[in-house]
Amino acid sequence: MTETQNRRRLIENLIGLLATQIVVFALAFYIYQESTRIETAQNQVLNLQLEDAMSLYAENCAVCHGLNGEGIGSNPALNNPALAEMPYEDLYKTISRGRYGTSMPAWSKDDGGPLSDYQISEMVGLVQAGDWAATGDRVVNLGLAPLIPFTTQPDVLLLEQVGTLPDGPTLQAAIQLFAAECVACHGADGLGTKIAPTLNNPLVRQKTADELNRTITFGSAGTLMAAWSNKLAPEQISGMVSLIQRWDEIPAGAIPAPDVPIATTAESLALGQTLFSQNCSRCHGPEGQGTQRAPALNVKSFLTDTNDQAIEQIVTGGVPGTAMPAWGDRMTQVDIQAIVGFIRQWEASAPEVAIPTRGSGGGPPWLRTNSTTTTTNANTAATTQTGAMATGAGTGTGSSSSGQGNGQGGGQNQVASTPAWWQTLNWPILLGLTALLSIAFTLISKGYTTLKKK
């Protein structure tokens, strides 16, 4: 064997040894990174599952367990660290099969529910590792926020009147308890909501005390009425029975509906801004400051005196006898709530007195004059916003007095001496284009003349 062959074999052996070492080190590095790779992959899968789970929660669970999993009434909170630490199997079984004697139904398709096994596993992941703030945003963005009052405060004067009735202290305690625990589902004065029936009803008062006590204590199967025995003492349940049976003696308004702000997110505010600009700004002004056609919305008095539910009702049903139309047949509830949320965010910076804007007249934009209308008469401006949208929306009666500066306001209107389109022209570019066009037409004409002679 020659020296050249020996050298070649040595090189081949070294290359093979080096390749083997590279493979060994690569395999060792891969094994070392495997746990991190598995954890990353699991987190990616979990994040995808949580995305689905938040939508499932909004569609199926928020009505009972609240916007952010905080619980409603006797329905427990899900944003509870103790639940997050429960074994997976226990949570899966509870969601899949429900809980006997409570309002928690079975959600598995095998037990008559709407969710598959995979979807139930996603819901378990939400309880164990979900972001409840993000979940609340998802509920709002899907328009599924439970817009029901959670708690309210009884009317103080009417509560004192109740104290003068026979066994008044018991009724007073029951009213306060109802305002704190039951109004969320059964509504102000016990007149019911979308998710629970009225209790202030002659038919309900005909039930015996034992029937009512049993329903409150053990709940009602197949409904959202849960058992309250684990939360209320026997004397509290007895007081609630007395309240239901004697509700005809309780003054109306003793348990008022609370002011529940409509929940908002960045997405819902953006939607509300777009919808307001497209549909509302023509009458109420681009910033809600009011015009001659409709009163101001962006003013302290209106936003302070009108809660979100009232604004939503006004937008939905309109104001009869005014130019404020009903939008309930043109927009979804989600759209209307987005507009209400957008209007509400003005409250922090709303002016005390509204200064309505004036239109710049008809005709095409390039023939309109640039004018800026300012109203210096505070009394006139205050008249504009009186009643706001609830009493004079779109009538123009509240804002006409503020627009008397049309030649009478002592120079209130600043009118430019030249039209706006003339001021916006870029003269150097215009002259350059004119010169180029002149040269082009000259060359074309000369060429045509030459061709014609030939």
Q: Residue 46 CB: number of other CB atoms within 10 A?
A: 17
Please check whether residues 346 and 229 belong to one and the same domain.
no
Q: Taking 60 as the threshold, does the pLDDT of residue 405 lie above it?
A: no
Q: What is the mean pLDDT of residues 250-257?
A: 90
Q: Are 385 and 352 in contact (CB under 8 A)?
A: no
- The count of domains in the chain is 3
Judgement on whether residues 140 and 164 belong to the same structural domain of the protein: no
Q: Are 174 and 240 in contact (CB under 8 A)?
A: yes
Are residues 360 and 286 in contact, defined by beta-carbon separation less than 8 angstroms? no
- pLDDT of 122-153, one tens digit each? 999 999 999 999 999 999 888 888 765 567 88
Closest CA to 298 of 316, 280, 312: 280
> Which of 322, 318, 349, 320 has its CA nearest to residue 331?
318
Mean of the pLDDT values across residues 423-452?
68
Q: Flag whether the pTM goes above 0.75.
A: no
Are both 282 and 382 inside the same structural domain? yes
| Calpha distance 413→405 (Å, rounded) | 7
- Per-residue pLDDT, 439: 72
Most confident stretch, 69-83, 187-201, 268-282: 268-282
Whether the per-residue pLDDT at 289 is higher than 60: the answer is yes
CA gap 216, 349 in Å, rounded: 46
84 located within any domain: yes
**Average pLDDT of the segment spanning 191-204:** 87
Identify the domain containing residue 336 by its residue range.
266-363+371-403
Question: Is residue 447 in a domain?
Answer: no
Q: What region, left, alpha or beta, does residue 361 occupy, with left being phi > 0 and alpha being psi -120 to 50 degrees? A: left
Question: Across the chain, which distance is largest between two alpha carbons, in Å?
Answer: 122
> Which residues are within 8 A (CB) of 154 and not within 5 positions of it... i.e. 6 or more apart?
175, 176, 179, 254, 255, 256
Higher pLDDT, 148 or 216: 216
* 413: number of Cβ within 10 Å: 17
- pLDDT tens-digit profile of 300-346? 999 988 888 778 878 988 887 777 888 888 898 889 999 999 999 99
Lowest-confidence segment of 11-15, 103-107, 368-372, 383-387 by average pLDDT: 383-387
Q: pLDDT-based confidence at 407, cuts 50/70/90?
A: very low
Same domain, 379 and 279: yes
Final residue before a domain boundary, out of 147, 176, 198: 147
Report if residue 339 sits inside a domain: yes
CATH number of the domain residue 120 falls in? 1.10.760.10
SS3 115: strand
The whole-chain average pLDDT of the chain stands at 79
Q: What is the enclosing helix (H) or strand (E) of 202?
A: helix 202-205
Which pLDDT value is given to residue 411? 35
85 and 126 housed in the same domain: yes
State the pLDDT at residue 137. Answer: 93
Q: Are residues 277 and 357 located together in one domain of the fold?
A: yes
Residues 132 and 48 both lie in one domain: yes
Closest CA to 195 of 181, 183, 178: 183
Average pLDDT value for residue range 382-395: 38
| 290 plus 377 within the same structural domain | yes
Q: Same structural domain for residues 134 and 172?
A: no
pLDDT of 94 > 50? The answer is yes
275 domain residue, yes or no:
yes
Judgement on whether residues 183 and 283 belong to the same structural domain of the protein: no
Q: What is the mean pLDDT of residues 79-87?
A: 93
Task: State whether 119 and 83 are in the same domain.
Answer: yes
What's the pLDDT score for residue 173?
96
Are residues 177 and 141 both part of a single domain? no
**pLDDT, mean of residues 103-126:** 90
pLDDT at residue 188 above 60? yes
Least confident range from 103-107, 134-138, 258-262, 274-278: namely 258-262
